[in-house]
A and B are shown apart, each in its own frame.
Chain A
Amino acid sequence: MSGLRSAVFYQDPKAALAWLEKAFGFELVMLLEDAEGNVAHSQMEFGDSYVMIGQEWSADHKSPKSVGGKNTQTVHIQIDTDLDDHFARAKAAGAVIDAEPQMQFYGDKTYRCRDPEGHIWTVSQTVQAVSREDAEAASGLKITGWR
């Protein structure tokens, strides 16, 4: 199937697999471990997509924990319902909250948090339909390709 998938690197990928299930409800659908118990490959499913959780397998594949908390990309979680419940669950699992749930001009309620190794995750639920004109007026941005 064509599509985009992210691989996310951790110092301790097994702990990440457990945490991501507890915090975000991701479900492990594939895991390969070598004879020493190291994670060679894994996939966690959410909705109709998945992320791959792995170890720091080269000098250029690093967890934020290894590079002073820096992120060069974030993975976004889009959900259909109950953003506040999602937030509560993540917080209870120990997510570090960067931004509490709040409404955005484009009609989504969002929050932003960090997992135990410092990966930033954004979470969003569309709660109202906003027209392009209204979004432009609210944000001051010129918007192309609104849907």
Chain B
Amino acid sequence: MSSKVFVALRVKASPERAFTAFVEEIGAWWRPNGLFQTTPRAPGVLAFEPGEGGRLIETLQNGKIFEIGRIVAWEPPARLVFSWRQANFPPDLMTEVEVSFAAVGEETRVSVEHRGFDQVPEGAARHGFPDETLLMRLAEWWQRLLTSYRDTSA
């Protein structure tokens, strides 16, 4: 098994709109976090390449592209799974993010599950945190990300 961080909130939109806002407008709602730097450079702009096998990329300010992960499951409007890898991860480490969109009346419950972050070893990506602290910081960041997504895009 792997560790799991789960956060969820509701947005006032259909699952179709919520899914579209998540994948097409990630460049607008994404909020970088110094604890979870994707690259050592200044944060860039994120974008998904739609469809299974598509990339989640970050275009840095110097124009270079960093691949954060690949889309493993593309099932609009219900589910999206992609891999997540920071530049400061060891080469063989990959974590996984699953996003679900479930209709609740007129709203949509959007949930994010980030798996495997406990495997991040001592070093630049862990900041000396024990597992529970690291996972809590990750959960808090995803809560802020989802809040931004809700208020900006969905």
Contact = CB atoms under 8 A, between A and B. Distances in A.
Interface of A: 27-37, 40-41
- Judged by DSSP, the binding face of A is strand
A41 B136 CA distance: 8
A37 B113 CA distance: 13
Contacts of A33: 3-6
B118 A28 contact: no
18 contacts: A27-B109, A28-B6, A29-B8, A30-B143, A31-B6, A32-B5, A32-B132, A32-B135, A33-B6, A34-B118, A34-B131, A34-B132, A35-B119, A35-B131, A37-B1, A37-B4, A40-B131, A41-B132
Contacts of B4: 31-33, 37
A35 B118 contact: yes
Contacts, number: 51
B139 interface: yes
A29 B109 CA distance: 10
Contacts of A32: 3-6, 132, 135-136, 139
For the residues of B in contact with A, the DSSP-based class is mixed
Contacts of B62: none
B8 A27 contact: yes
A89 B3 CA distance: 33
Shortest beta-carbon contacts, A-B, top 5: A31-B6, A33-B4, A32-B135, A35-B3, A40-B132
Contact of A29 (B1, B7, B118, B132): B7
Contacts of A41: 132, 136, 139
